[in-house]
Amino acid sequence: MQRRDFFKKAALTVGAVGLGATTAKAGTTHQPTDNRKVSKNTFPEKRPLITYSDRPPLLETPRDVFTSVLTPNDQFFVRWHLPDIPMHIDPNTYHIKINGLVEKELDITLHDLKTNFEQVEVTAVLQCGGNSRSAFSPIAGGIQWGNGAMGCATWKGVRLRDILDRAGLKKDAEWIGFNGSEKAAYYETPSFIREMEIEELDDHVILAYEMNGEDLPYLNGYPLRLVIPGNYSDSWVKMLSNITVTKKYKSLFFMDVAYRVPDNECECEEPEKKFKTTKPITKMNVKSIIGYPTTGMTLNHNSHTVIRGLAWDDGHGIKDVMVSVDKGKTWKKAILDDGKLGRYAYRAFRFPFKPSKYGELSIMTKAINKLGEEQPFAKDIKWNHGGYKFNGIDEVKVKVV
């Protein structure tokens, strides 16, 4: 054994018998930060939101918005990586290029897109892979989101498949790269580019120009963005400038470093022992959020109230939402809405209830999908260095008076 390894092993043994003041701290998880106040400063087309930064804009949706299946555009969260977002986009001259390994390069204007292709709609949840990251302890690198780095909208646009068919893929085409229009403040910072394997493509992937019946808000990617229902939104590239088809996967910062979890079964690791291999985050796991009541509210003793919220997964569909008012000892089924917005949308739930005890009351919700997958307790979620994919059972605390 090498000397270095020996010391490592010795430290571990000491830790195991409980003497180790110097041993590494295990990664733990808990409920994410809740009820941060919205900021008074507003951004164009946005109502006051929880603000982490104004350049680039990083805005979170407050919890009480999550009683409605469609998130209003002006309350939809915002995440940009790079500070230099173009100040002005002219819809008359804007166009998107399709190049690389295609038979015919395309240059498509917004007008072309809206008139020369089949128009389709999909309602889908957009959730950042780092949503709820403030649940991780020690702190996982990145924005310390509460639960509101997400929303759901009806997206309208054109199938990516139809556009690629029009261009014609060459035989050895395997990867598609999507480029955003914004620039880094320093030239060393890479542009925001994501890549996708052509095999992963299905008919639900669209280039969307409309969100809930209106043009995309500027901060949500006007005039055109990628929509990949069921997947975390980190790949839903906004303000698209071009799509490039390649044979080889290009090694790119935003694909190789960010938005990855350990490539092991638990997708977990210890803070001081990074797992060597990683994989990209793609499909969303099952999760729920309570929109009403919110932490800090008071409810009246013995009077009727209706607990309301939303549940979603990657498109397998929600089977049940369970509610507990005794800290998770017993659970009862909530009533689900009809689900008519489709399998990628939020499912709304409600749970009529009469608080029978005075004092502090914990309300928890747990979603279960059609595969039988369910949310674990927050404390049972395993740590990862990026703070991705947190889906702990949700909890709010109110007072009964």
What are the residues binding ligand MTE (CB under 6 A)?
76-81, 126, 128, 180, 182, 192, 220-221, 233-234, 236-239
What is the distance between the alpha carbons of residues 368 and 91, in angstroms, rounded to a whole number? 43
Residue 160 or 237 having the CB closest to ligand MTE: 237
Partner interacting with residue 227 (select from ligand MTE, Mo ion, none; CB below 5-8 Å by kind)? none
Residue 210 or 234 having the CB closest to Mo ion: 234
Alpha-helical regions (H) of 139-228: 160-167
Nearest residue (beta carbon) to ligand MTE: 180
Q: Which of 285, 288, 286 is nearest to 310 (CA)?
A: 288
Partner interacting with residue 349 (select from Mo ion, ligand MTE, none; CB below 5-8 Å by kind)? none
For residue 209, the minimal CB distance to Mo ion (Å) is: 21
**How many Cβ atoms sit within 10 Å of the Cβ of residue 271?**
18
Residues binding Mo ion (CB under 5 A): 79, 128, 234
Partner interacting with residue 398 (select from Mo ion, ligand MTE, none; CB below 5-8 Å by kind)? none
What is the distance between the alpha carbons of residues 178 and 231, in angstroms, rounded to a whole number? 15
Residue 76 or 94 having the CB closest to ligand MTE: 76
What is the distance between the alpha carbons of residues 360 and 399, in angstroms, rounded to a whole number? 5
Nearest residue (beta carbon) to Mo ion: 128
What is the distance between the alpha carbons of residues 282 and 267, in angstroms, rounded to a whole number? 13
Residue 28 or 282 having the CB closest to ligand MTE: 282
Partner interacting with residue 389 (select from ligand MTE, Mo ion, none; CB below 5-8 Å by kind)? none
Tell the residue number behind the tokens 């139809």, with chain if given. 162
Residue 94 or 331 having the CB closest to ligand MTE: 94
For residue 305, report the phi and psi dihedrals to the nearest 5 degrees.
-140, 160
Partner interacting with residue 78 (select from Mo ion, ligand MTE, none; CB below 5-8 Å by kind)? ligand MTE
Q: Which of 156, 180, 153, 148 is nearest to 77 (CA)?
A: 148
Cβ contact 33:146 at 8 Å: yes
For residue 390, the minimal CB distance to Mo ion (Å) is: 13
